[in-house]
Structure 1
Amino acid sequence: MADATLPEDVMVLILRLLPVKSLIRFTCVSKRFHSIILSDPNFAKSQFRVAHDRKTLAQRLLYSSTVPKLESLDLDSPSFKHPSSVRKHKLPSAPAHDDVLPLGSCNGIVFLAFDDKIIYSWNPSTGFFKKLPDPGFSPNKISVYGVGQLPATDDYRVFVVSTDYADDKNELAMFSSRAKAWKKLEVDFDEFCFCSNQGIHLNEALHWLDTSKEIVAFDLGQEEKHKFRKMLLPRDFNDGGGDYYENHLGVSAGGYLSLARNLYVCGDSVDIWVMGEYGVRDSWTKRFNLKFSHPPRQDWNFNSVLVLETTMVAEIYVHKRHEIGRGLVKIGKKEEDTRSMYKDEGDWLNMIQYQESLLRIED
């Protein structure tokens, strides 16, 4: 009888069309499958490119809690309440810690800081977990951070500001996966006052909102002249409510910088602007005014918005008999999906979006 086994190149072509969730299951089929899926960096890159081009990358929302714990929610699920939507993560060889902070993600790789001292790269889909070199910080608080990649060199960058609040001093450093080392940065940081901690990655730069009502950007690839630059908010952007409003940066569908504004307490809507041409102030356009069909009640405090590519997630404090929990609401272009309300009793430290992939930081 003729051998019906597929040639390996054909098998690889078929495998890279499959989603990461299925591929992880198929690692049990054979040692060869296990090796291709989890140990071949070329396969991981080709599978990611195919999923990206076909727009089939699975999107998840990762959040941390002071318990401490890490959980994620399926952003593609019709409801956060679906049993398969929630995933509890257990980190392999995780250090003893009181606090875990997701610094950001890029191409499915998440970077975590433990107690503001130890930083790891982690792929939640494959479980790959790798400690980064010691950045050499004083034992201070990580106050500003961000993660990005330089595609031309396949170099992942981690930007961290460590702040000594007692002496009002900042230390800046950036990790390069290609150099496998941290580099201290001499940048005039003190002239800025950030009102957001996590930098938004777009066009090989990180972006934060400044209290001066401007966007502060940092180019990850400018080796010789590391510095911050400013970008202006929309001309028709008017807080009007002073400290009663919160503003949030994100990346909208198509890879455009977006800006969300919501009322801090008991707000009933979210306004969204999109920058059509990167860096051009006059290209800002107000795209949506998202009204809540059921505005937050008196026992809800509408706290913040995470702007994602195809949807948004609103974080809401929920007060119950002198106890405070938190909830997440998915927001579409028309209204919030009350079926997607997800509640947790822990105190969340941060939430980030990540894409499922097989990629990892290579040795």
Structure 2
Amino acid sequence: MSSCVVDLPEDIILKILCRLPVKSLIRFTCVSKRWRSMIISDPQFGKSHHQLASQQRTLRREVLLTTYPKLRDPGPISLARSGGFFKLPPRFQSLEDNFSVKNFTIPCEKSEDIIVMASCNGLVLVGESNRGYLRNLSIWNPSTGCFRNLPRPSFPERSVQSAGNEYKFSVNYGFGHVSASDDYKLVFIIPALGDLPEVHVFSMRANIWKVITAPYSSWPRWRGGQGTLSNEAIHWVIRHKNESSDPVIYAFDLAEEGFRQVPLPLVLWQDEDDKTSTEITTLVHLGGSLCILSRKHYYPVKGEVWAMTEYGVPESWVKLFQFDVRDLPDVFSRLYGPWDICFITESNIIMLRRDNELFWFERRNEEKLICSGQYRIEEVQPEVPECSCYFHAIGYDETLVSVAE
């Protein structure tokens, strides 16, 4: 029986490949040099693949775990100088649906200083933190390994500090995509001595930084940290210098490169005391909606999650759910220390972190949250008792998107 070889036109092959998952395409890079170049290095193919997966809702959302190990320093002199720990190179892993783990390697010279900051369309913003200064920003696609170094920004301020078990930023920053110009942008808001801070914006398409003066005469008090991307704008919850005033959401529009205010739900404050006792933070919602978490300073075990179903419309705020940590399964509530929501999916699956564990909680109808998954971060070097670690977790899309030099 003779074999039949079918020689398909290239446009048909492209349409077929665009419908395959990223993991399969990565395996197919060994078929030929042409396929490898197209899958890994062709920006248009990566863009088309991402657009089709977004339209058909077939994007795979993974969790990028970064584990930062520290080795205790037994020497009394260096103990006083370094806080008692040596930094070791972090470990980068992808946590997938069945809790299988894939290890990544970032092509960076000083890997022990790398910190993961934000993600957008499968691209991850990383930087190097050395002695409190944020340097050497880069864009990395964990799925393809593509890595692009960015020009050094002009701000010299201390941007990140190691505070206890985690990195704390003293600047506000964000990373997002502008669809009209197909441009990826970074924004950093740098505190100033006067009322007006500087806003540093980087365009990947133009490959330049620009500085914008904030347009407010009485600038609010910024707490520092990552903003939430929604509707092509970066959002932070800010309190003005007058502590009794209402918190507001400030949004930086990446296309217009300007600020606007987004109102919070008025029902959050039943009386004047609630304005200062309520902690509001924006949340990452993988469906694109702007979400917030509300909880009391004096009663942190309770929380409410709200979503703005129609962006920019104050009346569209709806409460997705509320919960009490004490009502969650014992496997979560028995742990000590603070808890945080890492992200929320379109199907109301919430990933929370506490101690060295991640938890997935699912909300079905009006029932209480049900634990649908649990993962404990393994120690990097469990055989070394002096080694401790903490971790950072973000959600990212598995894509072939790349940003050329």
Q: State the TM-score, normalized to the length of structure 1.
A: 0.84
1:248 maps to what in 2? 281
Deviation at 1:177, TM superposition (A): 1.0
Letter in 2 for 1:341: Y
Q: Which amino acid aligns with 1:146?
A: G
Partner of 2:263: 232
Equivalent residue number for residue 271 of structure 1: 304
Number of the residue aligned with 2:114: 100
Q: CA deviation at 1:281?
A: 1.7
1:255/1:309 contact within 8 Å kept: no
SS in 2 for 1:48: helix
Identical residues among aligned pairs (%): 31
Structure 1 position 149 matched with structure 2 position 177: yes
Partner of 2:384: none
Q: 1:132 aligns with which of 140, 150, 160?
A: 150
Quickly say closer, same or farther: Cα 1:281–1:72, change in 2 above 3 A. farther
1:356 aligns with 2:389: no
Letter in 2 for 1:69: P
Partner of 2:104: 89
Which amino acid in structure 2 is aligned with residue 179 of structure 1? A
| Residue 214 (structure 2) pairs with residue 187 (structure 1) | yes
Query: Retained in 1: the 8 A contact 2:120–2:396?
Result: yes
Counterpart among 333, 336, 342 of residue 376 in structure 2: 342
Query: How many correspondences in the alignment?
Result: 343
Q: Does 1:113 align with 2:144?
A: no
Secondary structure of 1:6's aligned partner: coil
Pair 304,254 (structure 1): closer, same or farther in 2 beyond 3 Å: closer
Residues 262 and 304 in structure 1, CA contact (< 8 A), matched pair in contact too: no
Residues 161-176 of structure 1 aligned to structure 2 (within 5 Å): 161-163=189-191, 170-176=197-203
**CA separation in 2, counterparts of 1:172 and 1:58?**
33
Change (3 A) 1:192 1:97: farther
Does residue 1:202 correspond to 2:236, yes or no?
no
Q: 1:44 is matched by which residue type in structure 2? A: G
User: By how many angstroms is 1:101 displaced?
Assistant: 2.7
1:117 and 1:139 in contact (8 A); partners too: no
Q: For 1:50-89, list aligned pairs within 5 A.
A: 50-67=52-69, 68-74=89-95, 77=97, 82=99, 84=100, 86-89=101-104
String of CA shifts for 1:151-203, please: whole Å, max 9, x gaps. 111110011234589x9995431110111111112115772223461111112
Structure 1 distance, partners of 2:23, 2:30, is 13
1:305 is matched with which residue: 338, 341, 345?
341
Deviation, 1:259, is 1.4
Residue type at the aligned position of 1:316: R
How far has the Cα of 1:241 moved from its partner?
7.4
The answer to whether the 8 A contact 1:140-1:162 is kept is no
Q: Secondary structure at the match of 1:236?
A: helix
For residue 303 of structure 1, report the CA deviation from its aligned partner: 2.1
Flag the structure with larger Rg: 2
Moved more, 292-301 or 194-203: 292-301
| Pair 1:144–1:342, CA change in 2 (3 A) | same
Q: 1:188 to 1:273 in 2, by over 3 A?
A: same
Quote the residue 1:320 is aligned against. none
- Judged with a 3 Å threshold, the aligned counterparts in structure 2 of structure 1 residues 164 and 217 are, in CA distance, closer, same or farther, namely closer
Aligned CA distance change for structure 1 residues 117 and 252 (closer, same or farther; 3 Å): closer
Structure 1 position 337, deviation (Å): 2.1
In structure 2, the residue corresponding to 1:10 is in which secondary structure?
helix
> C-alpha displacement at 1:89, in angstroms?
1.9
Whether the aligned pair in 1 keeps the contact of 2:65 and 2:95 (CA below 8 Å) is no
Residue type of the partner of 1:314?
L
Q: Which shows bigger deviation, 11-20 or 337-346?
A: 337-346
Q: Which residue of 2 aligns with 1:331?
A: 361
In structure 1, the residue matched to 2:386 is none
Change beyond 3 A, Cα 1:155–1:235: same
Contact 2:283 2:343 in 1 (8 A): yes
Matches for 1:27-42 after TM superposition, within 5 Å: 27-42=29-44
Residue in 2 aligned with 1:323? none
1:39 Cα deviation (Å)? 2.0
Give the structure-2-normalised TM-score.
0.76
Q: For residue 15 of structure 1, what is the aligned residue in structure 2?
A: 17
Superposed displacement of residue 306, structure 1: 2.1
Question: Closer, same or farther in 2 for the Cα pair 1:252/1:339, shift >3 Å?
Answer: closer
Paired with 1:339 and 1:256, the residues of 2 have a C-alpha distance of: 24
* Structure (1/2) with the larger helix percentage: 2
Q: Is the contact made by 1:125 and 1:358 (CA closer than 8 Å) also made in structure 2?
A: yes
**SS of corresponding position for 1:307:** strand
Q: What amino acid is aligned across from residue 329 of structure 2 in structure 1?
A: H
Shift in alpha-carbon separation, 1:146–1:133, aligned structure 2, 3 A: same
Greater alpha carbon shift after TM alignment, 186-195 vs 9-18: 186-195
Farther off after superposition, 112-121 or 4-13: 4-13
